[in-house]
Structure 1
């Protein structure tokens, strides 16, 4: 069964299906409610605007993200609900300061390696006031990851991309545009990004990021 990789959409699934295990302090209903709060977007600089179907080049600043590895599909812990709750738990107080933290956007999946041998890391962006001194996660499966400054190529698309196959298809479309523009990219690194809460049904924003070399 194919892994679902668009993490935010799982909140809707959880509401219709199951509650998290009693041991988790992160409650799925409070997590769903947080989706209606204002969420700070990572700031970036648009370097160039390619006149090719919306292709855009951006400079993404070095920032700290809170992340967790996505287990293999045959691992019983690979449930995306579990992955979401790991990250939301950190925001909801599972950190060394016991602080409830704001959630930034995008929600980002870092995919490294090839499609046949891929590692996926799910991350939440931490807003600026958290960047100054982010508390340490108390869950050992959750880590703070400092992503370096990146120059990326991207374009926006809508809908609910809820499978690796969908993200791969969008990645291939973007690679074709980038190749046509004569730009070199890292072939083994891609970021899949979602910006909207699950109950926003129209004009949704999703992006694949390819890293310029």
Structure 2
């Protein structure tokens, strides 16, 4: 428990998914292609981004603490991603899929989750536009950064999908300074909607 909590508190040196940087037209965002990887995920529906993220994180933390078929602890990784699919209309529930990257040593055979609401997600290779920001991420500043990223991409004539999008965090709640958060928008592939 202490080792995992230490890894959560000091998020340096954690396994992270590999990506290939692509050429970017703007200085205010990056373009990354992530290779195919496995993630442990859970989906929460609701109206509020921050509480959904908290609920999802708690479910996944139980998984890495041993709530899996092998009853083994799984190392903490970074980042924690939250795929947000906004609901249709102002008073509709959104879907939030919170995910931890499966550590490199477990990628080939991730321990199966014991909780029915937790699942292993195989992400195919994908390309995203990334905007990085500091501080403590919340619903408001995430949406502000997403808007800035959208404006930059439109300015540069980039083809992207407005929804769903990712809210991404790299740091434990106990880290107070030099925090790293990101928003990701999927690149629109030629000929795909």
Number of corresponding residues: 181
Structure 2 CA distance for partners of 1:49 and 1:168, relative to 1, 3 Å: same
Question: 98, 112, 120: which is aligned to 1:136?
Answer: 112
**Could you report, residue by residue, the CA deviation over 1:22-62 in whole angstroms, capped at 9, with x for unpaired residues?**
xxxxx8x8764441464112111001133x34321110111
Indicate the RMSD between aligned Cα atoms, in angstroms. Answer: 2.2
Aligned to 1:184: 159
Offset at residue 200 of structure 1 (A) = 2.4
Contact 1:110 1:120 in 2 (8 A): yes
Offset at residue 81 of structure 1 (A) = 4.5
CA distance in 1, matches of 2:132, 2:55: 28
Offset at residue 161 of structure 1 (A) = 1.1
Offset at residue 168 of structure 1 (A) = 1.3
Aligned to 2:60: 87
**1:27-106 matched pairs, under 5 angstroms:** 32-36=5-9, 38-50=13-25, 52-73=26-47, 81-106=54-79
Question: 174, 186, 192: which is aligned to 1:211?
Answer: 186
Q: TM-score, normalised by structure 1?
A: 0.77
SS at match of 1:87: helix
**Could you report, residue by residue, the CA deviation over 1:146-183 in whole angstroms, capped at 9, with x for unpaired residues?**
11111111121100012x22211111110000111111
Q: TM-score, normalised by structure 2?
A: 0.84
SS at match of 2:74: coil
Poorly superposed stretches of 4+, deviation over 3 Å: 29-34, 78-82, 113-117
Structure 1 unpaired stretches of 5+: 1-26
CA distance in 1, matches of 2:104, 2:37: 9
- 2:124 pairs with 1:148: yes
- Is the deviation greater in 188-197 or in 32-41? 32-41
Question: 173, 176, 193: which is aligned to 2:148?
Answer: 173
Structure 2 unpaired stretches of 5+: 189-193
SS at match of 2:166: strand
